[in-house]
Structure 1
Amino acid sequence: MASEKPGDIGHGSAVESTVVDMFSSDEEVVLSHNTSSLPPGYFTSTYFLGTMAASGFAIAGGVGGFALAAPILGIINADIGPDPNYVWISLVYTLTLAIGQTLVGRLSDLFGRRWFFISGNILALIGCIICAVATNIPMVIGGTTLIGLAASTQLSFTFVVGELVPMEYRFMANAFIYVWSIPFSGLGPLVAYAFVLHTKAGWRWCYYLMIIVNGLGALCWYFFYHPPTFYMKNRTTTRWEMVKNFDFVGFILFSGGLLIFLMGLSWGGGVYPWNSAHVITTLVVGFVACVAFVLWETMANPKEPLMPMHLFKDIGWDATIVLISLGASVYYAFSIIFPQMVFGLYTEDKAYGSALSCIVGASIVMGQIVGGLLSKWIGKQKWQLVVSTTAFTGLLGGVACATTDNKDTVIGLLIVGCFFVGWVESIGLAMSGIVIKDQSEIGTAVGIAGTVRSAVSTVASTIYVAILTNCLGATIPAQVPPALINAGLPASSVASFIEAMTTGSFEGIKGITPQITEIGVAAYKSASAVAYRTVFLSTIAFSGVALVLSFFCPNVDDKMTSMVATMLQKGENGEIVGAVEEKTRHAHVEDV
């Protein structure tokens, strides 16, 4: 493969020839490229601004395609089910996203990005249409599969935006994109329940909204996003040669192995028991395939490896991607468990409960935005990560103080703790593309980071759900029956009462009275609180490792330069955007 340089473009005008010469061979020359060599109208051109808008619609679509549906999966299942397989709606999104991010990053590094991102948004559009008109759960599962695959491109905004702006503004550019996720990642439960409670179409409006978002995104990608084409990136290699040299063995081992392994994890304790053949077989086969993939990439030395192993020789990069993965795992604990705790301990009102459930997501998004805006100004990113990780480790671990009576304390700890999780996420994800030596591999580096993040989060989520299930299975039988019997409920009615706690209706239970109901509900909530506290304590195991790793993350102050890794083209003719617009403006002024 020909050497692939940041900003490599085709031949054309004098401006283009100058830039091509600058990127011809010498790595030092490439790194010295800065905004002064771009046309004055580059960053205000319709192509650049349109691409930023496309990236904003992308994160909104990638997050919203599942974040809006996730809080109301039970409602969806009740409406077009019931179907016990509705749990697959969340599973297929997680599985496809985890695998897809590395594939999108690497393949778009090699073959060019434009059609990956156009196709991704179109795929999301189709998936949302299928879900919006679904008449049964299998249709929603199928649509969500497409949405998850599409999210692999949509949530790859970090390297799309990062390579188009000067290095010194990458943190701030990401902050701008995170703003677009506020209605979905930040306020998803509130928006979803608002549709359910206040629209005739109910939950389907979650997908109607995403159809609009993805449709606008697809138009923006098509009309404005023109990065270097394959031939601009590879002057001496044809597409067919690249295909022949591609790492298909690694592709099969990685995709198949990770998919099967994560599927086994997701099945365990939910769809199938942990000791079932389904779970054990998938875990073993998936793990063996993943090990085989690493050995293949390390020893076979494919010409165009799916996952270049030299990236992992950088300890700073390794520490950064694992850190953001562990931070995300802590986030998943609270995003999964806290909404259950809200409706289990604090309220039965859907509107108020959905608003409380937004605390985790909204606080993280605020942290992402503020962290991105201030990171360069504060400097010393390593110490920002250390301080932020220390803060969320202590604050979120402190949520283990939760009881039925200290809601305000829990909310306060959550808001500040999740804010710092978002800060770590914002800085760390941007750094995964900044610290690498060769910016032509930014898609691969950030894609791997996304895959590791999703895989670790899946493992963590499985652990949290298992802990909660096991603890509830111990605390409720230990505390609720004695309280009910002491209050006067016949022992034969205890099982019926516990079952009624999931439905909210205590009618028909022999011997029940309002006073017994009040005592039983209080005991049930107290037992549940113990289980929730155990889950929150378990997050310290993940955040503690993250804290250690934060000390191995690098500072990137020395990389905060005006270097731009990739330039947008005006169409596919190799002309840098901004040049023509600038000439037109000057001509207009002269005519006047």
Structure 2
Amino acid sequence: MSAIKTSDSKVEETASTHLDDVPSDANEVKQPGVTARALVIVLAINTIYFAQLVNIVGSGSLARDITAVVGGSTESVWFTSTIAILTAVLSPPVSQAADLWGRRWILVALTACGCIGAIIVSRATNVDQVIAGFTVGGICYGAQPLLHAVTSEVLPRKYRAWAQASVNVSASLGGIYALLVGGAVTRNQRPENFRTYWYTAAGIYAIAALIVAVLYRPPPRELRVTLTTNEKLRSLDWLGYALLVSSLTPFSLGLSWAQNPLPWTSSAVLAPLIIGVALIGALLLYEIRFKKDGLLHHDLFRHRNFPISLFCISTEGLSFYCANNYFAFEVGTLYTHDALRFGLHYSITFYCLIFFALLAAVYCSAVKAVRLPTCAAFTMFALFNALMATIRTTTPEANLWGYAVFLGAGLGVWLTSLVTAAQFATPPALIAITSGLMIGMRSLGGVVGLAIYGAIFNAALSSNIASRVAGASIALGLPPTSVAGLIGALSAGDMTGALAIPGVTPTILEAAGGGLQRSFVIAFRNVWIAAASFSLAAVVASLFLVDPKSSFDERVDAPLKVLPLDVQSKDHI
């Protein structure tokens, strides 16, 4: 135990330096600057982010293609929700473990899980196997905080915004690949080609794991070489991990089942929700009162920028996962069934993300500010959601090309400025757990958001579709027994099949199609209004950020050189 206490004191001593508490002579120590080795590592790490975006964007944009082949359309929300849950649950413990055992092999092992998961999805014959594939693949997202941490800690702090921008550029390229390749292979009514897409995703994961294994060879961190294996295991927050997993899982299940298909008053919805909320309360009580160096390490909250950043990133998760699941869905429902075409619509987001991420890096580095760009980013989110809520059946398709620009601008700016603000607000020794909590909160926001949006969407659609579609078609002579088949055919875009249904005429088909589209418009509108409300809350919160001007300096938090540590007396790994 004395060894653990000694190591904790070392972390706390390092953790005492943050934001404006930097000694005046900190910059007098010669710093390595930007090295070729550091740039190679940044490139290697970014290949993992590219692979992760290929998987998660595909899970949303190709969900209808997958279920068209394997069935289970009502379960498609779990494709993305599973990834979001695992990211939220795994990010903090993986970040803590990386400080003790090193980043390299954790990154390689978890990325390999992404490859295995993609293979399972590509070979799936039913929706349960697809969900299993996304579950295995979702394990790789536990490494996502390390991607933000490593790119930041190997470069001088004055280039912190550029480090985060590089991550965002690679993520954007992955998103563009996902939309264009996914759309190309499944267009012209070929949903079965989703298998080809995930074969390529598996290959990308494998290449990313190999690149990191070969190129990323950092020197051992102090805690890795000064603690024995037993000391490392005892220093982990096992009770915190258990409470995190046991609280988020039932909470997410309860939310996902609400209005899909169970009502909020159902015991199957209320029971897991209540259990989840109670365990979340127990987790917070334990971390605040009894565990000062656990998942919610108390040194992380010495400056207000970090809790503000956590709140803002959770609301960003609410907005991003909404766009990821509903933007292409709405384009495909109202305007075109061509997968490549609505993929092109959404890809505008990622092209703009690249431009605005680089623009934010220039601004943050030059002005040494994070508050204004973060506020502007969430304003863009709110504007995007508000514009999407105005869409009607008569709205020109051309408008949506412009709306996606605001989403891309918001993503590009906040991903650069807000992560920079959080990392500068916390001790350098805790950069991994800082990034872990940030990514975890973003995913938690996504889990909650997907459940809320799903409940809103399903409630609005079910309450309108019967009156609008059935009312319009029965009034024109359609037998009531043919209504369900007509709605199914229209939803799938199968006009030929719809006309083959008994009693359906071209006139009835046109009237029913109009009623169906109006029902979807109302459901989509309600979802976007909810997302806009969340974004406005983040706009207000971001106004209270403080610009960490003194933190943009020459220091490198994790220099790529071996420190002269005396490790002869330790049995370490």
TM-score by length of 2: 0.86
The 1:378/1:526 distance shift into structure 2, 3 A limit, reads farther
- Counterpart residue type for residue 374 of structure 1: Y
2:295 to 281, 306, 321: 306
1:210 to 190, 201, 206: 201
* 1:564 partnered with 2:556: yes
Aligned-residue offset at 1:355: 2.1
Counterpart Cα distance in 1 of 2:270 and 2:195: 37
Report if the CA contact (8 A) 2:145-2:435 is conserved: no
Secondary structure of residue in 2 paired with 1:347: coil
Report if the CA contact (8 A) 2:49-2:167 is conserved: yes
Structure 1, 130-139 or 528-537: larger mean CA deviation:
130-139
Written as runs of structure 1 = structure 2, the 5 A alignment for 1:118-267 is 118-154=108-144, 156-197=146-187, 202-230=193-221, 232-233=222-223, 236-267=226-257
Unaligned runs of 5+ in 2: 1-5, 567-573
Structure 1, 450-459 or 478-487: larger mean CA deviation:
478-487
Task: Show CA shifts across 1:255-286 (max 9, x none).
Answer: 22222322322233336554443332222222
Secondary structure of residue in 2 paired with 1:292: helix
RMSD: 3.2
Secondary structure of residue in 1 paired with 2:316: helix
Task: Show CA shifts across 1:475-528 (max 9, x none).
Answer: 333433443355554566545433432242213444432133223212321232
Match of 1:291 in 2: 281
Unaligned runs of 5+ in 1: 9-22, 576-592
Written as runs of structure 1 = structure 2, the 5 A alignment for 1:343-354 is 343-354=332-343
- Counterpart residue type for residue 505 of structure 2: T
Counterpart Cα distance in 1 of 2:25 and 2:96: 22
Match of 1:581 in 2: none
Secondary structure of residue in 2 paired with 1:555: coil
* 1:432 partnered with 2:422: yes
Secondary structure of residue in 2 paired with 1:566: coil
Counterpart Cα distance in 2 of 1:461 and 1:139: 21
How many aligned positions are there?
550
The 1:518/1:86 distance shift into structure 2, 3 A limit, reads closer
The 1:202/1:394 distance shift into structure 2, 3 A limit, reads closer
- Counterpart residue type for residue 520 of structure 1: A
TM-score by length of 1: 0.84
2:381 to 384, 387, 392: 392
The 1:389/1:200 distance shift into structure 2, 3 A limit, reads closer
Written as runs of structure 1 = structure 2, the 5 A alignment for 1:280-429 is 280-301=270-291, 304-406=293-395, 407-429=397-419
The 1:35/1:84 distance shift into structure 2, 3 A limit, reads farther
- State the identity as a percent: 23
The 1:473/1:310 distance shift into structure 2, 3 A limit, reads same
Match of 2:518 in 1: 526
- Counterpart residue type for residue 149 of structure 1: I
Structure 1, 277-286 or 358-367: larger mean CA deviation:
358-367
Computing the radius of gyration from Cα coordinates, the structure with the larger value is 1
Counterpart Cα distance in 1 of 2:332 and 2:294: 48
Task: Show CA shifts across 1:331-384 (max 9, x none).
Answer: 222222222211211112333233224344554454334323433234432122
Report if the CA contact (8 A) 1:112-1:233 is conserved: no
Task: Show CA shifts across 1:141-169 (max 9, x none).
Answer: 33322211112114531111111111111
The 1:464/1:201 distance shift into structure 2, 3 A limit, reads closer
Structure 1, 470-479 or 160-169: larger mean CA deviation:
470-479
Aligned-residue offset at 1:235: 6.3
The 1:189/1:501 distance shift into structure 2, 3 A limit, reads same
Secondary structure of residue in 1 paired with 2:35: helix
Report if the CA contact (8 A) 2:357-2:415 is conserved: yes
Match of 1:12 in 2: none
Counterpart Cα distance in 1 of 2:145 and 2:308: 21
Aligned-residue offset at 1:559: 1.2
The 1:271/1:241 distance shift into structure 2, 3 A limit, reads farther
- Counterpart residue type for residue 369 of structure 2: K
- Counterpart residue type for residue 315 of structure 2: L
Task: Show CA shifts across 1:356-413 (max 9, x none).
Answer: 2434455445433432343323443212222332343234313222112222234323
Match of 1:104 in 2: 94
Aligned-residue offset at 1:318: 1.0
Aligned-residue offset at 1:297: 1.6
Aligned-residue offset at 1:540: 2.5
The 1:209/1:284 distance shift into structure 2, 3 A limit, reads same
Counterpart Cα distance in 1 of 2:503 and 2:67: 33
Task: Show CA shifts across 1:39-80 (max 9, x none).
Answer: x8x6113xx233112211110122222322432233334445
